Amino acid sequence: MTNFDFKTCAPDLDPALVLWTETVPGGGHFSYRLRRGTSLRFIDLEGGANVSLMMYRADERLERLTMNDTLKAQHTAHLTSGHVLYSDMGRVLASISRDTVGWHDPLCGVSDAAGVLAKYGVGRYQEQRNDMHRNGKDSLLIELGKWGLGLRDLVPSLNLFSKVTVDGDGRLAFAPDHSARHSVVELRFEMDTLLAFSTAPHPLDPAPAYAPKRVAIVAWDSGTAGPDDACRHSCPQNQRGFANTELVYR
């Protein structure tokens, strides 16, 4: 990973509030422990990126992101700005505070070694060094292992920048070229959260060559959702979810 000048992709942010910046290569992976009131801006630097992420409550990691409750509580599988990401205890781990993409996939999970091998062929470190073929599942397991978590802690992921539609017969279809260059999605963390993510290709990406895209990240001190925040009021359940969350931090 490399640092970059945040003014290039985040000129609107007050430099005094920016905590750190970095660029994650395509096929990379990383994890952070994020304080409540921190926001992350993910920027698709080239177009066509995919960021598969998982979240856990930082101080009690048995509480973690649940896509089932996230979609059920908000009556949608079309996640965008104004929506929140729920834990399995009915609390708001993070809010989607800004989104220029308009659709992110909560259904398809991550790529695995067998799928990447079948689609792209052998891509070992011995021959390709840092361009080796990484998959989302193994990448996330590497990150979870750094925090004392493992295979049993894998949960359904959210795939930022990727769009998958479902037809009347339940068939899934990946939308190529969905995320344009310099598309942005921002997550504001409403709880102290452990975040793990991978930039490996989406499992349904039809691209014939292994060429995952770079993503830039800007972290800043944003504060948490205020009383009039759009995510709080986008549906009645979110008001209850925020109230449940704030009981933890009284």
Q: What value does the mean pLDDT of the chain take?
A: 95
Place 124 in a pLDDT band, splitting at 50, 70 and 90.
Answer: confident
Query: Can you count the helices (H) and strands (E) in the chain?
Result: 7, 12
Task: Give me the DSSP letters along 88-107.
Answer: TTS-EEEEEEEESS--BB-S
Residue 125 has pLDDT above 80, yes or no: no
Nearest Cα residue to 39 out of 21, 54, 25: 21
**pLDDT > 90? residue 140:** yes
Task: Judge residue 227's burial from the number of C-beta atoms within 10 Å of its C-beta, 0-12 exposed, 13-18 middle, 19 or more buried.
Answer: exposed
pTM: 0.94
Nearest to 207 by CA among 26, 23, 1: 26
Residue extents of the structural domains in the chain:
11-27+46-185+199-245
Instruction: Please say if the pLDDT value at position 196 is more than 80.
Output: yes
Region 52-56 average pLDDT: 98
